[in-house]
Structure 1
């Protein structure tokens, strides 16, 4: 089974189209002001008409007001909403029902015990994203180029779809897949030259690496 990929933190049509061309299933767009990858609603609306139609669009939000999420869904014609903050399961269900989108809930992981949080969300979302917990003092909940012990995922028998994130790059992706048995992965900082500055070469390399894994 091929590995499904999500290129997150995109800010330009050029890199979005490149990611879709090389096989990304999901294109991720961040709506969080403190992020160097942040998109405003105006920028999202302008970007919308230049995006490829063959990839699914994901909006990433951190403790955002529902009205703002809904405005972003409309601005970028989102297929998915990713919740990357301290949201509750009932919020995820409400967003899914009210906005007609699929929902991903990000769970911060540093040790095996952290995986249990996914159980509360699984009935209310369409997928879980296991991401590394941010370093102490970090301003961002994700995109921090850190990972967690991948092998703890291999030992679990999840009954819901899930993605692996956190510190992934083209070079360590084969090892991450082998240790975690992930069938879907998410990358942001691992395809950048600097925070918020995507690299076309690194996007291509990552997606080629994902295709070569299985």
Structure 2
């Protein structure tokens, strides 16, 4: 089964189209002002309306209010919501969209408990823990903490780049991989060559399995 790919932290239409042209299955738009990859609603709307068919547009939120999520959905045609904070299952599932829950991993129990708590999610994203930041840290974590029993599709994030993504796929066997900083030339600005290298590595290891 092919591993899906998401390029997160897209801030420009150029980067969104470049990611799609090189075979990304999804792009991520960050609606969290504290992030250097945060995108404004005007740009987000243009990006979401311009990407080709079958490229999933994911909106990332961190501990938002219900009103804020609804205000974004009113202007930006998102396919999937990604909640990267401390949101409850009830909060995540109230918007009538498919959604992903992210968990910052310190132990295997973090992942097991999240699988149990967020059973209605379309996937569980596992990322490195940072006490001050919700994702986008560029840090990895011990993949051995990821259990083999997975009630939901598992999305691997955290410190991935073209140098380690093939090893990550071989070891973890995720449903999808999610990259942001590993394909950037600066925060919020993607590097086309790095995106190409990353996606090529994902597709290469897929073909050899």
Work out whether the TM-score is over 0.5.
yes
Q: Distance in 1 between matches of 2:93 and 2:166?
A: 34
Could you tell me how far 1:86 is from its partner in structure 2?
0.7
The aligned residue for residue 115 of structure 2 is 119
Q: Distance in 2 between matches of 1:125 and 1:112?
A: 19
Q: Is the 8 A contact 1:29 1:58 kept in 2?
A: yes
Could you tell me how far 1:191 is from its partner in structure 2?
0.7
Moved over 4 A (4+): none
Distance 1:110 1:52, change over 3 A: same
Q: Distance in 1 between matches of 2:90 and 2:37?
A: 28
The aligned residue for residue 163 of structure 1 is 155
CA RMSD of aligned residues (A): 1.5
Could you tell me how far 1:115 is from its partner in structure 2?
1.3
Matches within 5 A, 1:181-200: 181-200=173-192
Could you tell me how far 1:90 is from its partner in structure 2?
1.0
Could you tell me how far 1:68 is from its partner in structure 2?
1.4
The aligned residue for residue 92 of structure 2 is 92
Instruction: Provide the secondary structure at the position in 2 that maps to 1:105.
Output: strand
Does residue 110 (structure 1) correspond to residue 110 (structure 2)? The answer is no
Map Cα deviations across residues 120-163 of structure 1 (whole Å, 9 max, x no partner).
333221111011112x4x3x31111101111222x421121120
Does residue 34 (structure 1) correspond to residue 27 (structure 2)? The answer is no
Distance 1:193 1:69, change over 3 A: same
Q: Distance in 2 between matches of 1:75 and 1:204?
A: 30
Matches within 5 A, 1:1-214: 1-95=1-95, 100-134=96-130, 136=131, 138=132, 140-153=133-146, 155-214=147-206
Q: Is the 8 A contact 1:16 1:52 kept in 2?
A: no
Structure 1 unmatched ranges of 5 or more: none
Could you tell me how far 1:197 is from its partner in structure 2?
2.0
Could you tell me how far 1:41 is from its partner in structure 2?
1.8
Q: Is the 8 A contact 2:127 2:135 kept in 1?
A: yes
Q: Which moved more, 1:55-64 or 1:18-27?
A: 18-27
Q: Is the 8 A contact 2:121 2:152 kept in 1?
A: no
Instruction: Provide the secondary structure at the position in 2 that maps to 1:123.
Output: coil
Could you tell me how far 1:104 is from its partner in structure 2?
0.3
Q: Is the 8 A contact 2:15 2:192 kept in 1?
A: yes
Could you tell me how far 1:67 is from its partner in structure 2?
1.8
Map Cα deviations across residues 77-97 of structure 1 (whole Å, 9 max, x no partner).
0000000011011111223xx
Q: Give the TM-score taking structure 1 as reference length.
A: 0.90
- Number of residues of Structure 1 aligned to a counterpart in Structure 2: 206
